Structure 1
Amino acid sequence: MRAPLPTPPVAVEAATTLRRGVPAVLVAFPGDPVRLGPGGGGDVPTGVTGKAGATTRHDGTWYVGAGDGAPGDWRTAGASLIRALHGDAEQGGPTSLDVRLPTDLDPAAVEAFALGAALGGYRYRITGTEAPKRVKSLRLVTAAAAAVDRAATLAAATTLARDLANTPSNVKDPAWLAAAAVRAARDVPGLDVRVRDERWLADRGFGGVLAVGGGSARPPRLVELTWSGGGSGGGSGGPHLVLVGKGITFDTGGISIKPAQGMHLMRTDMSGGAAVIAALVGIARLRLPLRVTGLVPAAENHVSGSAYRPGDVIRHYGGTTTEVTNTDAEGRLVLADALAYAVRTLAPDHLVDVATLTGAMKVTLGVRTGGLFATDDDLAARLLGAGEAAGERWWRMPLLEDAAEDVRSDIADVRQCPPGPGGITAALFLREFTGEVPWAHLDIAGPARADKAYDEVVPGATGFAARTLIGLAESWVGADVAAGVGADGDTMG
């Protein structure tokens, strides 16, 4: 079975005029009385409140509430609208509509609305039944075409990350994930992908990846994606950003096996790797003028006679040794190899890893906020700002130095699971492999998955962090480029 990839989002496009005979959507704002946007002359229909995301249909016209008009409200409005329109389409309603946005609407709000509309109706389903009728296109009447185009790129990246993480693990193994990265990059000029197999990993001493993948009949891979900045000097004058994403395509826990309840969700344990692949595709599509490399160490953590054991000592790329204490803390072992490889061979100026790493972070921050650890305040600020702009929430966590000594091992250089607060000690373990490079660790164990819809998120893999990573890369380029406008004034696709 070959799972569908990618899932096409709703085509959200900018337009300058309404189409004749096409149903329209009007915007409403709360108040006493409720205010309507362009085209909303006359009385406000009963039931139209203007509350963010509230949708109502009256006499063939749809109304959607924009709330207080913050970007988050507009994102919620777009997502709620497309869900309502999909439901209507399934009952025979139209599959293409026009939305009249206020003429003075800020481009950031236009982008947020377009993003919500493109992502709110996402569906990943493998079925033998005929797919229901869905909305195919939504045209936004606005002058902010560049904002709509950028939203389409961000939505495509988020959709790709969701698709990769949602794919079931009887289909998805390390080789499949690597091939999916190659396919995703195929139509993006300038984005290079190299796939390293288990022999290459063994020859170069990637002991963490090999140990974690040793229990599976499906061998590990290292995926390396390279964006050099788009030519013409590219990113030669900017920083080299390296992104590392955990790519555990299924996680049984190994010999330290997980409880059966919830193990089926471990198909999404490569959500960090999915975010990195999707971010590199998005960065390349935006043609950002800086060098970005993505590394995804991919393995399947399984149980067999060849599985690694608690008490083993493994040697990582570069020579550092780790005492294994829990085979279900496998993510930090594969990340350690990739981080050490990045530091020793890629000469990064900034290094960021992202992973569904610890249940402790999910307990600490819940399921809608990611944990951020950083050795550099500027890098942390850029990530927090990128997350806020992307609608992805982060909370900076401390790297407690009084716990750092606990990372040391009696029989190896470091130990895998030091005592103490689990999310923090995991970050301190990873820090051992980052050298002197400014580094940040993003723990997305909570927000990488959702069990119910909210904002633009739907149940299943969320694609969390992909947009933040794209925004981080944009933080080092000019405002015009970040907005999707090239030096010659053309919109980037």
Structure 2
Amino acid sequence: MKIKTESSIKKKTELLCGFVLENSNKVLGLTKIDGKTASSINQSLKDMDGKLGKLNIIPSPGDKYAHRILLAGLGKKEDLTNDTIRYVSGKIAQKARELKLKEFSIIFPPSFVSESISSISQIVEGSKMALYKFDKFKSEKAEKTPDLTIIVSKSNNISKTIRTSEIVADGTIFTKSIANLPPNECTPTTLANFAKMVSKKNKMKCHIISKLELKKKGFGGISAVGQGSKNEPKLIVLEHSNGPRNEKPIVLVGKAVTFDTGGISLKPGDKMDEMKFDKCGGCTVLGIMKAVSELKLPINVVGIIPSVENMPGGESYRPGDIIKLYGGKTAEILNTDAEGRLILADALSYGEKQYSPKAMIDFATLTGACIVALGTNVAAIISNNKKLTKKINDASKNTSEEVWELPLNQDYMDMIKSDVADMKNVGIGRAAGTITAAAFLRNAITDTPWIHFDIAGVAWTQTATKEKSYNPKGATGFGVRLILDYLQKL
């Protein structure tokens, strides 16, 4: 990705792209246009009307610089959001690839520099993420990704912003690329190897706790869920230590069930193939840790990923079992398909005991109840700390990854009390399924500020998922950009 500071019409390019507001008679940032080109643009502006997402390509008659000009509609100015340019930039990038271009250029509207509705980062994120395509197992690969040049009027600090945005987008794409892998290509061991690769490349500490050590050290949840599969469970720990030595870290925990059959409480066959996405929480943490290290953020961050494959078999854990979790509490198993909270509880307790963190954030495709409650475009968050929740909400607005807070009071905590153990791993019937799952996690920690993301509805594109150019079909990488925004502001 390149940056150019010049009169936009003087940029030699195969496709020069500019943004247009609805009912506007000008292209934002486009200057010094000759007579023939100006006439073509004016006619195109009348035809397209600047409607959101509408693209119009016109030739550049007699122009020795841009071969073609693309006008991209932003919609009404009063309707512009943080996501508008990200979405439209993605549409532009996909059109450039469709035209089989080697490169294209986008004019950054100077009028947006000081406004909150957009920034240079949204062009970078939108165009880069929209060009990602999961074609690893296709004989016919996607067209080569065209190079992008962003044209700006002033380059002050913009190069740094572009580089940061590229790293953030790459972290999201990395998350998607692993999350999209099928279960025969991504086991807990595979995930551990990805973590080792990231740590080696970015000079982070990496520690993998395997089956025998997990059992020996009392990780009862991870051991129980993983014992039914020949693919051994792993606890993956990554450490980015770039802050003061005595500064407490932020601990990120991500559920990574590389495939979830439901175990003995077997899921229905319909859409079971989508359970390869049950590792998305862990993949999110991997993508964040990769980006944190590449950004060289001057903070301490720990990523913890409990990874298992939940399979039925002769050694599987059963409904009726009682297991002891890492934190010391016991759990009665009523449903082996409520496995995510068991492995997360172990990881949260370990993170708190080992690192005494200033905050803990977990991500999990945890409950179908979350999709019933909030659909497929908004993640549920549940927290024990208002200040942390506010910071997460602010980051959510910046990255347009929507969240909605659900309550967690003593009534919900009481719903997971067991007659024969400290807790049971499901609540009462179908009532408040997302919250009772979070209540189980809340029992795993003491007073550390904590926030839980249930990303079951947003981790991959589903039937009712809103179309976004930068979220092609498959895993979305939800949460990577949001948490990186939060971490960069610490």
TM-score by length of 1: 0.89
Indicate yes or no: 2:136 matched with 1:123. no
Give, in whole Å, the separation in 2 of the partners of 1:51 and 1:135: 26
Distance 2:282 2:321 in 1: 26
The one of 471, 487, 490 equivalent to 2:485 is 471
Which of residues 395, 399, 404 is equivalent to 2:413?
404
Over residues 214-242 of structure 1, what are the superposed CA-to-partner deviations in whole Å (9 max), with x where a residue is unaligned? 1100000000010112xxxx234654210
Deviation string, structure 1 residues 204-261 (Cα, Å, up to 9, x no partner):
01010011111100000000010112xxxx2346542101000100000001111111
2:221 is aligned with 1:201: no
Q: CA deviation at 1:298?
A: 0.2
Q: Structure 1: which 5+ residue stretches go unaligned?
A: 1-11, 477-493
Kindly state the Cα deviation for residue 128 of structure 1 after the two structures are TM-superposed: 5.0
| Corresponding residue of 1:414 | 423
Distance in 2 between residues matched to 1:167 and 1:415, nearest whole Å: 32
Q: Decide whether the 8 Å contact of 1:82 with 1:117 is kept in 2.
A: yes
Question: How many angstroms does 1:458 deviate by?
Answer: 1.3
Aligned in 2, Cα 1:473/1:21: closer, same or farther, shift over 3 Å? closer
1:57 aligned to 2:71?
no
| Aligned residue among 13, 17, 26 for 1:26 | 17
Paired position in structure 1 for 2:354: 345
Q: Aligned residue for 1:133? A: 143
For the 8 Å contact 1:53–1:78, the answer to whether it is kept is no
SS at match of 2:215: helix
C-alpha distance in structure 1 between counterparts of 2:438 and 2:51, whole Å: 40
CA contact 1:374–1:439 (8 Å) conserved in 2: yes
Q: CA deviation at 1:324?
A: 0.5
Partner of 1:48: 48
1:450 to 452, 458, 461: 461
- Whether 1:96 and 2:103 are equivalent positions in the alignment is yes
Deviations 1:297-351 (A, max 9, x none): 0000001111110110011113211000111111000001001111212111111
Q: Deviations over 1:453-482 (max 9, x none)?
A: 414211110000111221222231xxxxxx
Q: 1:455 to 1:385 in 2, by over 3 A?
A: farther
1:436 is aligned to: 447
* Deviation per residue, 1:57-94 (Å, 9 max, x gap): 111221222333532111111111111112111xxxx2
Deviations 1:21-52 (A, max 9, x none): 42232323224343212336424243333233
Contact 1:225 1:280 in 2 (8 A): yes
**SS across alignment from 2:301:** strand
Structure 1 residues 127 and 319: alpha-carbon distance in aligned structure 2, compared to 1, 3 A threshold:
closer
SS at match of 1:36: coil
> Aligned pair count?
456
CA RMSD for the aligned pairs? Answer: 1.7
Instruction: Decide which of 214, 224, 237 is 1:224's aligned counterpart.
Output: 237
Percent of pairs with identical residues: 30
Contact 1:53–1:79, Cα closer than 8 Å, also in 2: no
Alignment partner, residue 274 of structure 2: 265
> SS of 1:384's equivalent?
helix
Q: Is the 8 A contact 1:119 1:159 kept in 2?
A: yes
Which whole-Å CA distance do the structure 2 matches of 1:116 and 1:132 have between them? 18
Looking at structure 2, the residues matched to 320 and 280 of structure 1 have their Cα atoms a distance apart, in angstroms, of 30
Which residue matches 1:112? 122
For residues 425 and 406 of structure 2, the distance between their equivalents in structure 1, rounded to whole angstroms, comes to 20
Kindly name which structure, 1 or 2, has the bigger radius of gyration based on alpha carbons: 2
Deviations 1:365-395 (A, max 9, x none): 1111110101000000111111221221111
Amino acid of the residue matched to residue 276 of structure 2?
R
Question: With structure 2 as the length reference, what TM-score do the two structures score?
Answer: 0.89
Q: Deviations over 1:404-426 (max 9, x none)?
A: 11221111111100113100111
| Matched residue SS, 1:327 | coil
